[in-house]
Amino acid sequence: MIAVADPGLQAERTAMSWTRTGLAMLVCAATLLRWSEAYPGLIVAVSLALAATGLVIGLLNRRSYRVEADALANERSAPNTAAVFLLTAMMFGIGCVALYLVW
């Protein structure tokens, strides 16, 4: 079994990347509101979905950081595939909306 060289730092880097993702989603949600006059229903719905996802990521990030740091310290960590899959699906959907708006 390979020992983790920086048992606390890996979890911290992961938590910081999730925080940046949540903040980026909040910034995108606020930026989208500029186009709410041209496409009121669609833009507001996408903006609310982005903002809600960003807030959920921010709120769940603290708890998951503690759990991941403990799991790494005990060398029993597992990847969080569900969160990555859901975020990827959300970004794919928003990308499809963006393509619709461009065309």
pLDDT per position as a tens digit, 70-102: 777 777 777 778 888 988 898 898 889 889 888
Rounded distance between C-alpha atoms, residue 86 and residue 4, angstroms = 28
pLDDT at 16: 86
pLDDT of residue 5: 59
**Backbone dihedral angles phi then psi of residue 100, each to the nearest 5 degrees:** -60, -45
Q: How far is CA 30 from CA 1, 20, 25, 58, 84, in A?
A: 46, 15, 9, 16, 23
Greatest CA separation found in the chain? Answer: 58
Side chain identity, residue 79: P
Question: Rounded to an integer, what distance in angstroms lies between the CA atom of residue 28 and that of residue 51?
Answer: 8
pLDDT above 80: residue 58: yes
Sorted by sequence, the CB contacts under 8 Å of residue 5 that are 6+ apart come out as: none
How much is the pLDDT for 1?
46
The domain spans of the chain are 9-102
Tens-digit pLDDT profile for residues 1-44: 455 556 567 777 878 888 898 899 999 999 988 888 888 888 89
| Token digits of residue 54 | 């960003």
Copy the structure tokens of residue 103: 């065309």
Q: pTM score, two decimals?
A: 0.72
Q: Are 8 and 69 in contact (CB under 8 A)?
A: yes
